[in-house]
Chains A and B, each alone.
Chain A
Amino acid sequence: MRGWARKAAGYVAAAAIMVVAWELASLVLHSPALPTPADGLGEFVRQFPLLLPAFGYSALRAVSSIVLGLVVGAPLGLLLGRSERADLVFGPLVFLNYPVPKVVFLPVLLVLLGIGNASIIALITLIVFFQILVTARDASRSISRASVLSVRSLGADRWQVFVNVVVPGSMPEIFTALRISVGTAVAVLFFSESIAGSTGLGYFVFDAWGRIQYGEMFAGILAMALLGVLLYEAIELIEARVCRWARAGR
């Protein structure tokens, strides 16, 4: 069986197992908050016209946050890992702030940036940024000395070493950080949208919960799960292209 076919078969099997488990759980719990798969999926289809724009908002927020966090965090992390001087200055700043739970700053962001996209994106970016920064820093530190020496012996300057060795060599770890950040981003998305939004899937779920519309609520939960899976798969696809070398020869 070819790679993609095997992967697809795996997904179908996993989905089937989940549906069965879901069916059993809803039978056992017998609660309106956990409908049967048939009811839940039916509701998902019925709510689709309302879910679609909410999905769009949420996807936009998650993707822009991850992209922002990547564009700022990865280069900065790679630099910190390779430059002792930069690390001396900024390293303590990073490590003092990394363990601080950034979600608690949501109220501050709401006051500063107002309710809506800006504060939601700012919050997720802040969290994802640190995850990517710390991983990129460690990745660029563990680049092999031999790779750097051999490229320098070819006459490469610092910038060429960075472009030819440090960046590609750190890519697999950066992609791992991205995959982890998808999970974080969707979780924080739900939290921030339910508090700071009037749009998006988080708001959709929270609103339906408040109106005791468990069917709608569950449709929103399914959409949110779908968002996470799609983002994850998108990153897998990009990684397979960018890091083709890391999968070769295995």
Chain B
Amino acid sequence: MADVRIDSLSVTYHGVDADVRALAGVDLSLADGEAVALIGPSGCGKSTLLLAAAGLLVPTGGAVVVEGERIAHPRLRTALILQDFGLLPWKTVLDNAELGLRIRHHPAAESRRRAMEALTRVGLEEFLGLFPSELSGGMRQRLALARALALDADLLLMDEPLSALDALTREDLQDLLLSLWRDRGHTSVLVTHSIEEAVYLGRRVLVMSPRPGRIAAVVDNPGMGDPGYRETEAFHGACVELRGLLAAEGALHRGGGES
């Protein structure tokens, strides 16, 4: 049961000139199997939130609790997928997919079997011996997903995982993410810059405001979960509502960029 509770989470980075408050008292609760999307302007601390949830960053205040356990270091079944996919260029497709299991000292045969299953699920079973540099952007993203699947992750934390992809590949992978979520029922936190992506993949969409980052608004998005959702009135309605909220946050005219 990967339910997540974030309690007044604060993170302050100690800069050279001044301290930067990246997050100021973020509260958020996710039920097991819930999918949320986080959207907001650059510098709103979205990535920081994910790093803290992954146990890679010690918060200045507050806590992240997953399955009743306070997160202080990486958790076994949490998978973090970064913008540039976090693949190791010197490992083949198969070795990259196996990496998490090997690091946790799973037996070689079991790791191989689980990695193969995961690679088959994302359609990469014919590219086992290639290196990431030989794959297209979409294939690399599939590989990063396969690594999470091989670990049997029940909490997926994704930091703009699709932002480097072209529009068609992007929709393709959004469909894959949705179908994986429907099949597996994992808890999913997706950070994105795209309004449409947030509405397609987030049962709730959280709008964050910058400096210091906090949650400014929540859009409930009950229609999410159906593959045909993109073509519905409700989808467009949610997009319009979200766009309005972001404009109010001053996010739309600043352009993209990393948070």
Chain A residues at the B interface, C-beta cutoff of 8 Å: 144, 146-147, 149-156, 160, 164-165, 168-169, 171, 243-246, 248-250
- CB-defined contacts of A171 to chain B, threshold 8 Å: 90
A155 in contact with B89 given A248-B133, A248-B134 (CB within 8 Å): no
8 contacts between A and B (CB under 8 A): A147-B86, A149-B86, A150-B86, A153-B56, A245-B89, A245-B90, A245-B131, A249-B133
Contact A154 B99 (CB under 8 A): yes
- CB-defined contacts of B90 to chain A, threshold 8 Å: 168-169, 171, 243, 245-246
Partner of A153, one of B79, B84, B87, B133: B79
Contact B76 A155 (CB under 8 A): yes
Number of residue pairs A-B, CB distance < 8 angstroms: 76
- CB-defined contacts of A156 to chain B, threshold 8 Å: 103
Contact B80 A150 (CB under 8 A): yes
Contact A146 B84 (CB under 8 A): yes
Chain B residues at the A interface, C-beta cutoff of 8 Å: 51, 54-56, 74, 76, 78-80, 82-91, 99-100, 103-104, 130-135, 147, 151
A160 in contact with B86 given A153-B74, A153-B80, A249-B134 (CB within 8 Å): no
Contact B133 A245 (CB under 8 A): yes
Interface residue SS majority, chain A = helix
- CB-defined contacts of A151 to chain B, threshold 8 Å: 86, 88, 99, 103
Q: How far is the CB of A239 from chain B (nearest CB, A)?
A: 13
Docked pose: A160 CA to B83 CA in angstroms:
22
Contact A154 B133 (CB under 8 A): no
- CB-defined contacts of A169 to chain B, threshold 8 Å: 88-90
Docked pose: A152 CA to B82 CA in angstroms:
12
Contact B74 A154 (CB under 8 A): yes
Q: How far is the CB of B174 from chain A (nearest CB, A)?
A: 21
Docked pose: A165 CA to B90 CA in angstroms:
9
Contact A155 B80 (CB under 8 A): no
Contact A150 B134 (CB under 8 A): no
- CB-defined contacts of A165 to chain B, threshold 8 Å: 88
A164 in contact with B88 given A152-B56, A152-B74, A153-B74 (CB within 8 Å): yes
Q: Quick one: closest A residue to B57, CB to CB?
A: A149
Q: Quick one: closest A residue to B133, CB to CB?
A: A249
Docked pose: A243 CA to B89 CA in angstroms:
10
Q: How far is the CB of B91 from chain A (nearest CB, A)?
A: 8
- CB-defined contacts of B54 to chain A, threshold 8 Å: 153
Docked pose: A248 CA to B135 CA in angstroms:
10
Contact A160 B133 (CB under 8 A): no
- CB-defined contacts of B134 to chain A, threshold 8 Å: 248-249
- CB-defined contacts of A164 to chain B, threshold 8 Å: 88, 91, 99, 103
- CB-defined contacts of B83 to chain A, threshold 8 Å: 146
Given A154-B100, A155-B100, A245-B133, 5 further pairs, Cβ under 8 A: A146-B83, A146-B84, A147-B86, A154-B103, A155-B74
- CB-defined contacts of B76 to chain A, threshold 8 Å: 155
- CB-defined contacts of B79 to chain A, threshold 8 Å: 153
- CB-defined contacts of B135 to chain A, threshold 8 Å: 249
